[in-house]
Structure 1
Amino acid sequence: MGKRVFINLPVADLQRSMAFYDALGFTNNPQFTNDVAAAMMWSDEIYVMLLTHEFWKTFTTKPIPDAKKTAQLMLAISLDSRAEVDRLTEIAGANGGVADCNPMQDHGFMYGRDFEDPDGHIWEPSWMDPKVASGEVDPTQITT
């Protein structure tokens, strides 16, 4: 089996969260989904595990922070274009999330916007010029 990333997120309403991630293009994997957890696949290697608060509490004794009030992490994902960044952020805002919860970042060779899911977890879709990402072009040499 290859390496996989499982991002575990506590959610207040499992069905609402599943619908949100489905709207973003995640696919549900019913093999790992039941009434307390849902596996939403971004790709074959990246899963977001949505866990009800009650189920989450079986894994840790630490309290669940209110992600609408505090930020513990930001989940960055790379996309193929600026338009994809805009599209995903707008879909999030139209489906129960908050678009542009942080200031947009535009550095010419790199572009990103942030959104929150319904529970306040922050996602950072971003795009980087492929020539910069591959090392072909030095980002300090790009003028905007």
Structure 2
Amino acid sequence: MPKQIFVNLPVADLHKARSFYEAIGAVNNPQFSDDTVACMVVSDTIYVMLLTHPRWATFTPKPIVDAHAASEVMLCLSAEDRAAVDAMVETASAHGGKADVNPVQDHGFMYGRSFEDVDGHIWEIMFMDMSQMPQG
């Protein structure tokens, strides 16, 4: 069985965050969602758990970082091609996110862009064509 990853993110407004993730292609799994958490399915192996601040506090006593002001983690998803990279970043921007918070990466064989979600969490979207990767 392939390993799965559950990315847990604190969110200020669960409805707004859920709507944002649905706009960029994630699907809510109501079996693991309620008024304090939304389980957003990105793929068969990737899940984003959006937790309200009070729910987050039940898991750790550490303070929640303001991701608009400080950085703790940067998440990266692969894309099918360059157009898919652009489409996801543009969709994120159109639904309350902030596009290209990090410099665009274009190395020929590898192309990537980034966005912040509505809570300031940074996502990179990357396409790599390994057949075009320089040798050596």
Confirm or deny a common fold (TM above 0.5): yes
Q: Deviations over 1:33-79 (max 9, x none)?
A: 00000000001111000000010001001000000011111100000
For 1:3 and 1:129, locate their aligned partners in 2 and report how far apart those are by CA, in whole Å: 24
2:110 partner amino acid? M
Displacement, 1:108?
0.6
Identify the range of structure 1 (107-116 vs 1-10) with the bigger mean alpha-carbon deviation: 1-10
2:134 partner amino acid? P
Q: Which residue pairs with 1:13 in the alignment?
A: 13
Displacement, 1:102?
1.0
Task: Give secondary structure in 2 for the equivalent of 1:58.
Answer: coil
RMSD of the alignment, in Å?
Answer: 1.3
**Structure 1, unpaired ranges of 5+:** 133-137
Aligned length: 136
For 2:82 and 2:103, locate their aligned partners in 1 and report how far apart those are by CA, in whole Å: 15
For 2:126 and 2:34, locate their aligned partners in 1 and report how far apart those are by CA, in whole Å: 32
Q: Which residue pairs with 1:29 in the alignment?
A: 29
- Structure whose alpha-carbon radius of gyration is higher: 1
For 1:59 and 1:124, locate their aligned partners in 2 and report how far apart those are by CA, in whole Å: 26
For 1:62 and 1:139, locate their aligned partners in 2 and report how far apart those are by CA, in whole Å: 43
Report % sequence identity.
57
**Structure 2, unpaired ranges of 5+:** none
Task: Give secondary structure in 1 for the equivalent of 2:48.
Answer: strand
TM-score of the aligned structures, taking structure 1 as reference length:
0.91
For 1:90 and 1:117, locate their aligned partners in 2 and report how far apart those are by CA, in whole Å: 12
